[in-house]
Structure 1
Amino acid sequence: MADRSPQIRATAMPTDLNPYGGVFGGWLMSQMALGAGSLASRHGKGKAVVVSATDFAFPGAMQVGDELSVYCDIAATGNTSFTITAEAIARERNGEAETRVAQGTFKFVLLDEDNRPRAVNAAALSAND
């Protein structure tokens, strides 16, 4: 795993399981959306809402008690939006083994105080890099 910081970390609990005993994919997607939203709001300096979620894959399995780390990167910047890739990595509860359990792409639109799309401030973006 590359030396990078996760946007969020969470532990999978029994309520996060699907009927087959694995972690529910919807829970993984929601954690990824939270991490991506945090990045969009921080870089956009304000309210950012998800408008699409695409390209999801679930290459690995996660068990109850495993720790999930969500890593996000801004893949593209539009006039009023960010496209953010998210990668979910599970670490086994009692060890160091890691598995990529999900990946996907989110698009966020920045909103003003009237909940209307607002422009991405290029000067603020370069200050965050």
Structure 2
Amino acid sequence: MSDFVSRLPDDKELVLRVMPMPADTNPAGDVFGGWIMAQVDIAGAIPAWRRARGRVATIAVNSFIFKQPVSTGDLVSFFATIVHEGRTSVTVDVEVYAERHPEDPLTVKVTEAQLTYVAVDQNGRKRPLDAP
């Protein structure tokens, strides 16, 4: 399946949208992978936080695939979906799309990842999802 898509998905929840700045790039002009990873972690934490009804901590990056580079000027959208719930944990799929060239729009899937978060109490100890 091609990574080039005609538009952003409308069947997934948009949880974060950001435009990277020149300070977020390497000498070649591509956005640092670490910057994208940090944004993916934030995006994945949003539905996990909602489900846990409180604080969560990232416990695993199950997979992370960079499909296309991201550049300054790209409008980057992060879609996150809960794919599994355990007693204390939530696993989230995150898909990342870049909208490029506003004069001749192009949307590209740039990253996909899966992360697991654990619900934690105010002391940082894991807790059941149903206990706020």
TM-score, structure 1 normalization: 0.88
Match of 2:112 in 1: 103
| One-letter amino acid of the counterpart of residue 56, structure 1 | F
The answer as to 2:51 corresponding to 1:32 is no
Match of 2:9 in 1: 2
Match of 1:49 in 2: 57
Structure with the largest fraction of helix: 1
Q: CA deviation at 1:5?
A: 3.6
Deviations 1:24-70 (A, max 9, x none): 11111111111111111111100001011131111112110111100
Measure the CA separation in 2 of the matches of 1:2 and 1:70: 10
CA contact (8 A) 2:13 2:81 kept: no
Measure the CA separation in 2 of the matches of 1:93 and 1:26: 24
CA contact (8 A) 1:56 1:105 kept: yes
The answer as to 2:76 corresponding to 1:76 is no
| One-letter amino acid of the counterpart of residue 81, structure 1 | S
| One-letter amino acid of the counterpart of residue 85, structure 2 | T
Q: CA deviation at 1:22?
A: 0.7
Secondary structure at the counterpart of residue 112 of structure 2 = strand
Deviations 1:57-107 (A, max 9, x none): 111121101111000111110110001111110111524311111111111
Measure the CA separation in 2 of the matches of 1:114 and 1:55: 28
1:119–1:57 distance in 2 versus 1, CA, 3 Å? same
CA contact (8 A) 2:87 2:128 kept: yes
Secondary structure at the counterpart of residue 31 of structure 1 = helix
TM-score, structure 2 normalization: 0.86
Match of 1:66 in 2: 74
Measure the CA separation in 1 of the matches of 2:32 and 2:101: 17
Measure the CA separation in 2 of the matches of 1:113 and 1:17: 36
Q: Which runs of 5+ in 2 are unaligned?
A: 1-7
Secondary structure at the counterpart of residue 112 of structure 1 = coil
State the Cα RMSD in Å: 1.7
